């Protein structure tokens, strides 16, 4: 559905997106994570056809997104900083959307008014931050896009509204195979919403996986050996993302299946062995450490 092929984007001398390739399947919800300044917003704007890449191609259903209006009409981008026409009311913004997006669904717009409960004659720029975001989703969902690109979308929404919007997004993905790419620093939200995840750093995707695979492939291990002199040999056999020693107990973050890790560890005499799952937030932190982010003593 969405093919990002070897794209790069430079701002002056800074390479914000570096020869990046990414494919997102139809009906999938793809979470884009990354450090500040990793290039996520730059990438999303290129995928949405707002900015042009210096090199490479973006295809949505095999059609280049930047050059073709018929692709842009099927894609909605909700940016981190929202823009509405100055002085426009909700109703006026809706009529702008109705003109631009051929699949605009007026009936749905009217139905959703009960979910959002914001007056049609309200001027959008006078609404609160969270209410503006509600309007952005109300308009986006009524435009019936095939692709939704969301940059920090939940910022400012209260927990009830977050849940409502999540349910509406899930409904569109399930019923009409809408595809979503979502960038967020709120990893609990990403964990809840997404089926795939990509971690971006310095303009590149470092890891791209199904979220379930990512979670079942990284573990927290507590370990104490009967003979500590055997530890070095044991650790050399494991794919370790992070290591800390607390007294006689070693705390490790290890990549690999539970079965494989247990087998290696049980090849030595162990006094203590505990293997625990990690949250996406913890996996993100240790993967970032692996690419050079300074992380010290943050194991809980
Ligand atoms: N219009 C621009 N002109 C110059 N540099 C830019 C521009 N937009 C982005 N950059 C630079 O490109 C890099 C990537 O920025 P981008 O906004 O894509 O990162 P991000 O991953 O979205 O970051 P954050 O998580 O902090 O929002 C940064 O170094 C930023 O300063």
Distance of alpha carbon 269 from alpha carbon 228, whole angstroms: 10
Q: Tell which one of 32, 41, 53, 199 to mutate to probe ligand 1, the residue whose CB is within 8 A of the most ligand atoms.
A: 41
| Atom 23 (ligand 1) nearest CA | 37
Question: Which residue, 32, 275, 299, 264, is CA-closest to 150?
Answer: 32
Looking at the predicted structure, is the pLDDT value of residue 299 above 70? no
Please say whether the beta carbons of 147 and 76 come within 8 A.
Answer: yes
Domains and CATH numbers, the chain: 2-211 (3.40.50.300), 217-290 (3.30.70)
The three-class DSSP label of residue 172 is helix
Average pLDDT over residues 88-116: 95
- What pLDDT does 65 receive? 83
Cβ < 6 Å from ligand 1: which residues? Answer: 11, 14, 16, 34, 36-42
- What pLDDT does 294 receive? 56
- What pLDDT does 298 receive? 42
| Atom 31 (ligand 1) nearest CA | 37
Write the pLDDT tens digit of every residue in 125-180. Answer: 999 999 999 999 999 999 999 999 999 988 889 999 999 999 999 999 999 999 99
Distance of alpha carbon 205 from alpha carbon 186, whole angstroms: 18
Measured from the Cβ of residue 207, the count of other Cβ atoms closer than 10 Å reads 17
286 pLDDT tier (thresholds 50, 70, 90): confident
CA of 23 to the centre of ligand 1 (A): 22
Q: Give the ligand 1 atom nearest the CA of 183.
A: 22
Write the pLDDT tens digit of every residue in 64-101. Answer: 888 888 888 999 999 998 988 889 999 999 999 999 99
The residues, ordered by sequence, that sit 6+ positions from 259 with a Cβ below 8 Å of its Cβ are none
Q: Give the ligand 1 atom nearest the CA of 203.
A: 14
Write the pLDDT tens digit of every residue in 211-239. Answer: 888 888 889 999 999 888 999 999 999 99
For 97, 209, 259, 260, 278, the CA distances from 217, given in Å and listed in that order, are 43, 10, 10, 10, 10
| Atom 29 (ligand 1) nearest CA | 37
283 pLDDT tier (thresholds 50, 70, 90): confident
| Atom 1 (ligand 1) nearest CA | 11
- pTM of this structure: 0.87
């Amino acid at each position: 559905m969405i093919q990002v092929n070897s794209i790069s984007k430079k701002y002056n001398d800074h390479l914000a997106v570096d020869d990046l390739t990414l494919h997102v399947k139809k009906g999938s919800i793809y979470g884009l994570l990354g450090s500040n300044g990793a290039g996520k917003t730059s990438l999303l704007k290129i995928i949405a056809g707002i900015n042009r890449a210096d090199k490479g191609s973006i295809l949505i259903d095999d059609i280049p997104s930047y050059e073709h209006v018929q692709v842009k009409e099927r894609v909605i981008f909700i940016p981190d900083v929202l823009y509405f026409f100055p002085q426009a009311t909700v109703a006026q913004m809706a009529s702008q959307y109705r003109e631009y997006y051929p699949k605009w669904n007026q009936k749905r717009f009217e139905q959703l008014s009960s979910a959002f409960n914001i007056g049609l004659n309200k001027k959008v720029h006078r609404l609160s931050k969270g209410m503006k975001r509600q309007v952005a989703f109300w308009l986006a969902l009524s435009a019936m896009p095939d692709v939704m690109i969301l940059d920090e979308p939940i910022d400012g929404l209260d927990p009830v509204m977050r849940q409502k919007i999540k349910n509406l997004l899930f409904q569109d993905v399930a019923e009409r195979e809408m595809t979503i790419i979502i960038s967020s620093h709120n990893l609990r939200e990403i964990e809840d919403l997404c089926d795939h995840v990509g971690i971006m750093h310095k303009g590149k995707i470092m890891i791209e996986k199904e979220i379930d695979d990512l979670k079942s492939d990284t573990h927290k291990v507590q370990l104490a050996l009967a003979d500590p002199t055997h530890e070095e040999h044991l650790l050399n056999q494991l794919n370790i993302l992070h290591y800390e020693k607390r007294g006689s107990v070693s705390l490790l973050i290890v990549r690999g299946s539970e079965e494989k890790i247990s087998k290696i560890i049980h090849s030595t005499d162990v006094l203590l062995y505990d293997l625990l799952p990690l949250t996406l937030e913890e996996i993100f932190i240790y993967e970032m450490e692996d690419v050079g982010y300074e992380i010290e003593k943050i194991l809980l």
